Structure 1
């Protein structure tokens, strides 16, 4: 008899499943809300640190590219003085703390702007190749760290010069809120720059603890630092739980600088920097659902499961095993004792037919042909009994799936998560503003080296090189005052023919199918002409793609969508009136709630219509040419996607119901396929055999209890055929009742 077939394995599997599910429900699923800090808060801090790492990496790479491209532009033109180089550099970019020009051969300082640079840390004899010009970190006498970016200034017939720019290693444009701190660490865990850290000794000690742990974790491989297939940030990132004091606990997130593509490094990522941010949050160790609920649910499952298993054992398993023994007895020729007929279902029908076959073998009068069938209770089939068991288990699973532990619209969202949504949205808005400002600065740098002596071919070469260095542009061209395009690189310009450059440095045009963001930088040497750059809309959308923020949209002054992190229709209104009102609040000059003295700024809110969602809006403030666009970045996401205790309890309740429903369906379905269907077929064949059908061969489907009964019926059929032959030959008178030799073995 097969070990995996028959009636016992499905019932045993059902019993084991119910016991395991009851244990999981009582001891594992019930552990909701026991954490001192909700997992959603930890995940939010990790996202916050990732935002900082992305901002720092983009800023450093942009600065390195800008200094190299600026030196290349100057070197491709007529020689200029070191002071002119630094003056022009300072007028276009305002992001370096200090700049200088050094004559490489003599080591003399030619010109300097801003703070004094640690030039003694530079080895001017080792500047060959790109590795010699790689950016490097140096520590000042006051303990601060600077990043030095290098580029060569070279003209024929003049000594080579080195252009040096220094910048601090602070995370740019990250909104910290009221109580958050952020720091930049090197590969050894030493703090290179920080922001938001006060004079408190406790904060500094906490940062040192984090720095030591983060340095160890950041040294792991990115593929080993996260769960397989987690996606998201390409580098090493995570969260840490710090010390607890006075009902508050410090929570940190960390992220190592990494390229935008997995495995592709940049000049900034080669520095081995890591960003760590931490904030103190209130501990909320309150279970969302009382543990008694889960214990009671486990107990109810045990009671209902015991009833279901007992019903299967009493009404299906025992009668089938008894029928197996009776059929084997009849097949062996033991005909004097009547068959014990079960009371229910197909086994009752088979038992009644088997008893009629016994009497036919004995040659009792009236036993041949149609005879009495099983009673009314036999009409209750095995399928009905299994359905009753399924209903018993559904009584436990259905409330968990549909009713219990439902998180309504009154779910409390932790304030830290709401604050993080607001601050991260503000950081994203600043990231867009900086990108647009950087683009205009690049155009200004190109325009500064174009004069009336520059040929169209030279302009085209310059534009193509700029477009290759900065992938943000779809099209670059030089536009004269009369609207004539002198040179271009990239796609076809979308400006209106005959129109000169706009007086606005950045414009947004509705082209009918997608927004066209165009930047203008006047070329002083061409008398009214300008260098024009049309930005790729994909570049804007790529800036808005950050995990953990949900839906992200950039809207213009009329609250029309101009960019997003996923599918949207250009210049369409926001989908929710409350989101539109939130954008209006963020741009109010009088501040939130009518409080005077506060300008536009980020706002957040909990939306409770049709479910709970958290939303935030942040206008692009901070200066630069991009601020004139009056854009706002708005984000929103459903709270049910966050690891909040209330939703975690709901999800685990649904999971328990699904496990119960799936396990019951699998075990009962297994029983239906392996036992019930063959048993129904066997009942019909047994009744037909008892009614006189001797020609149809009865063969088993499975090698189990039902198959064993089937083989016994086939033996009885052959015995009846042999008996008919003997009766036809006149041998029936000499046959002794009850001693018929079997025609085969069971």
Structure 2
């Protein structure tokens, strides 16, 4: 018989599946909430470190680009003194701790601003080598680390000079809250900068322990550090559990600097830096982790499964096997013993037909082939028995799928997650603010090198080079005081024709289908003209894409949506009144003053929401923008939702296993058995012409073959009877003669 056919395999498979599911329910699914730190908290710390790594990488790459572009702008114009270079650089950008200009040939310091730079760490003879101008880290005498960014200043007929800028490796704009600490590690695991960590004490020891572990994990390949298909941050990242003391435990996240796309490196990623952030959380157990429910569910499954399997064995399997043996016996010619008739279903009908065939073969009176059919036995069919088993298993699966362990709207969200949502949203708001400020600084840098004698062709070339270096601009142009465009690069300007440049450094124009963020930087040498840059809205939206924050929106002062990390309608209202109230609270000027706010919103479901205005100074603050984020709590790894998801999983597994096995049984056994019952009764009623073919090589197929043998025997018997009767009719007259 077929290995996968017959009555035994589906029943055995269902038994094995139910036993496995009961074991899984009791010993694996029941382990929910056993950890004293919810997995959602660990994941949140990982996302926090990833935010820091993204911010640091963007800041370092922006600094490298700014220094290189500034040097190229000065080199393209008339020669200026080193002091003028540093003064203009300081007026446009205020992000470097120190700047200097060095004559490369003599090694003489030509000019310097800010803190003293460790110029002795520079080897001026290697600047022309490959990567000779790459940024490098140097350690000062006081133990602090600085990043030196280099660029060449060269004019024809003048000695070549080196422009150097130093900056700290502190993560920019990250909101730490009250008890969080963050640090930057080099490739060897040494701390190069930290915030929120003292020079001694438990936090410093914990940071050293995290740094040692992180240095090892950061050496992994990004594809090996995460589960396949997890996506999100393109580099190496993860979370760590620290030491516990007095009911508190340190939880850390780490993220190695990675490029904007997988496999794409930058000057910052070549430094091999890793960001580590950690916070202390209160250890807590969870009542959801009680395993009694899961043990009871496993026990109930064993009881219901045993009843279902026993029902199938007693009412389906045994009668069919008995029918198989009886049909073989009759087919071999053993006709003197009556057929043992099953009590239920199609097997009873086939057994009754088989016994009639036996009596017909014996030529017993009262069992003619064309006589009336006996009353049907076993009106309860095999399909009804299968349905009863399905109802038994559904009685276990349905409550798990629909009612048991429902989290509801009263789920308690850990305060650490609410705080993280607030701090991460505040960090994101600062990133948007810095991006707008950096864009205006770039325009100011371009405006500062424009001269009164600059031709439109020269200005256009300058704008094209600037747009190629910074992908944030959709259009760059120089707008004269009379509203005419002197030169442009990129798309068509959206500025209203005939109007002078705006006095506001940044404005938002409604183009009809998307907001156009326009920045203005006055060009002093052009008499009222301004360099105008229109930022791509996709550039702002790309800044908002952060895993673990849910839906993120940027709204203006009227709470209208300006940008978002997913599909949105420009200048539409926020979808929730509670979000409107949260934005109002974040921008209020009384009480706590403007600042990030977070809350748990329970409106048809539980969500964690936060709002953070663009504070911290710069031209972006007058816009009145606010970054709003909201994510459903059911997507977090909180014990209540994990228990709900696992309960649904158990119900789905039970439902799927029952449907698969009972469906298998119905297709392989029940349908052929019902068809065979009809053909067996037709054969017993006198149909000797229809050949019986087995559907499968199993018990039903074996009974079919036996009935086919019996049909052939009865047909031969009829031929013999007919031949014998004809012979006697023709021989009588001869005897009389």
Instruction: Give the CA deviation at 1:369.
Output: 3.0
Q: Would the aligned equivalents of 1:726 and 1:732 in 2 still touch at CA under 8 Å? A: no
State the partner residue of 2:462.
Answer: 462
The alignment status of 1:116 with 2:116, answered yes or no, reads yes
CA distance in 1 between partners of 2:150 and 2:523 (Å): 27
Distance 1:187 1:371, change over 3 A: farther
State the partner residue of 1:144.
Answer: 144
CA distance in 2 between partners of 1:290 and 1:472 (Å): 53
Q: Which runs of 5+ in 2 are unaligned?
A: 729-737
CA distance in 1 between partners of 2:69 and 2:494 (Å): 27
From 609, 620, 634, the equivalent of 1:615 is 609
1:177-576 to structure 2, matched below 5 A, reads 177-370=177-370, 378-576=378-576
Instruction: Give the CA deviation at 1:365.
Output: 1.5
CA distance in 2 between partners of 1:377 and 1:601 (Å): 81
Q: Deviations 1:616-657 (Å, cap 9, x if unpaired)?
A: 000000000111111000000110000000000000000000
State the partner residue of 1:706.
Answer: 700
Q: Would the aligned equivalents of 2:554 and 2:563 in 1 still touch at CA under 8 Å? A: yes
From 638, 642, 648, the equivalent of 1:644 is 638
Instruction: Give the CA deviation at 1:130.
Output: 5.2
Instruction: Give the CA deviation at 1:286.
Output: 2.0
Q: Would the aligned equivalents of 2:349 and 2:376 in 1 still touch at CA under 8 Å? A: no
Q: Deviations 1:425-470 (Å, cap 9, x if unpaired)?
A: 0000000000000000000000000011111110000000000000
Q: Would the aligned equivalents of 2:67 and 2:151 in 1 still touch at CA under 8 Å? A: yes
Q: Would the aligned equivalents of 1:353 and 1:373 in 2 still touch at CA under 8 Å? A: no
Q: Would the aligned equivalents of 2:344 and 2:378 in 1 still touch at CA under 8 Å? A: yes
Q: Would the aligned equivalents of 1:222 and 1:234 in 2 still touch at CA under 8 Å? A: yes
Distance 1:374 1:499, change over 3 A: farther
Q: Would the aligned equivalents of 1:232 and 1:547 in 2 still touch at CA under 8 Å? A: yes
Q: Would the aligned equivalents of 2:127 and 2:133 in 1 still touch at CA under 8 Å? A: yes
CA distance in 1 between partners of 2:377 and 2:359 (Å): 23
Q: Would the aligned equivalents of 1:356 and 1:371 in 2 still touch at CA under 8 Å? A: no
Q: Which runs of 5+ in 1 are unaligned?
A: 591-595, 735-746
Distance 1:346 1:149, change over 3 A: same
Distance 1:701 1:45, change over 3 A: same
SS state of the match for residue 526, structure 2? coil
Q: Would the aligned equivalents of 1:349 and 1:374 in 2 still touch at CA under 8 Å? A: no
Distance 1:374 1:49, change over 3 A: farther
| Bigger shift: residues 194-203 or 78-87 | 194-203
Q: Would the aligned equivalents of 1:560 and 1:571 in 2 still touch at CA under 8 Å? A: yes
Q: Would the aligned equivalents of 1:349 and 1:373 in 2 still touch at CA under 8 Å? A: no
CA distance in 2 between partners of 1:198 and 1:606 (Å): 33
Instruction: Give the CA deviation at 1:25.
Output: 0.3
Q: What is the RMSD of the two structures over their aligned residues, measured on CA atoms?
A: 1.2
The alignment status of 1:672 with 2:666, answered yes or no, reads yes
Instruction: Give the CA deviation at 1:370.
Output: 5.0
SS state of the match for residue 125, structure 1? helix
Instruction: Give the CA deviation at 1:731.
Output: 7.0
Instruction: Give the CA deviation at 1:539.
Output: 0.4
SS state of the match for residue 284, structure 2? coil
| Bigger shift: residues 62-71 or 194-203 | 194-203
Distance 1:682 1:512, change over 3 A: same
CA distance in 1 between partners of 2:709 and 2:19 (Å): 42
Q: Deviations 1:291-326 (Å, cap 9, x if unpaired)?
A: 111000000000000000000000000000000000
Q: Would the aligned equivalents of 1:11 and 1:312 in 2 still touch at CA under 8 Å? A: yes
Instruction: Give the CA deviation at 1:371.
Output: 5.1
SS state of the match for residue 285, structure 1? coil
State the partner residue of 2:624.
Answer: 630
CA distance in 1 between partners of 2:157 and 2:290 (Å): 83
Q: Would the aligned equivalents of 2:553 and 2:563 in 1 still touch at CA under 8 Å? A: yes
Q: Would the aligned equivalents of 2:612 and 2:627 in 1 still touch at CA under 8 Å? A: yes
CA distance in 2 between partners of 1:107 and 1:118 (Å): 13
Instruction: Give the CA deviation at 1:377.
Output: 5.3
From 695, 699, 703, the equivalent of 2:689 is 695
Q: Deviations 1:159-190 (Å, cap 9, x if unpaired)?
A: 11111000000000000000000000000000
SS state of the match for residue 520, structure 1? strand
Distance 1:370 1:642, change over 3 A: farther
State the partner residue of 2:715.
Answer: 721
SS state of the match for residue 625, structure 1? coil
Q: Deviations 1:43-92 (Å, cap 9, x if unpaired)?
A: 00000000000000000000000001001101111111111111100000
CA distance in 2 between partners of 1:316 and 1:374 (Å): 23
Q: Deviations 1:456-495 (Å, cap 9, x if unpaired)?
A: 1100000000000000000000000000100000001011
Distance 1:385 1:90, change over 3 A: same
Q: Would the aligned equivalents of 1:34 and 1:287 in 2 still touch at CA under 8 Å? A: no
Q: Would the aligned equivalents of 2:326 and 2:340 in 1 still touch at CA under 8 Å? A: yes
CA distance in 2 between partners of 1:364 and 1:32 (Å): 70
CA distance in 2 between partners of 1:581 and 1:271 (Å): 44
Instruction: Give the CA deviation at 1:509.
Output: 1.1
State the partner residue of 1:743.
Answer: none
State the partner residue of 2:589.
Answer: 589
SS state of the match for residue 378, structure 2? helix
CA distance in 2 between partners of 1:354 and 1:132 (Å): 96
Distance 1:339 1:41, change over 3 A: same
Q: Would the aligned equivalents of 2:373 and 2:685 in 1 still touch at CA under 8 Å? A: no
Q: Would the aligned equivalents of 2:597 and 2:611 in 1 still touch at CA under 8 Å? A: yes
Q: What stretches of structure 1 move > 2 A for 4+ residues in a row?
A: 369-377, 731-734
Instruction: Give the CA deviation at 1:733.
Output: 12
CA distance in 1 between partners of 2:357 and 2:266 (Å): 88
Q: Deviations 1:207-246 (Å, cap 9, x if unpaired)?
A: 1111111000001111111111111110000000110011
Q: Deviations 1:675-707 (Å, cap 9, x if unpaired)?
A: 000000000000000000000001100000000
Distance 1:390 1:375, change over 3 A: farther
SS state of the match for residue 79, structure 1? coil
CA distance in 2 between partners of 1:126 and 1:707 (Å): 86
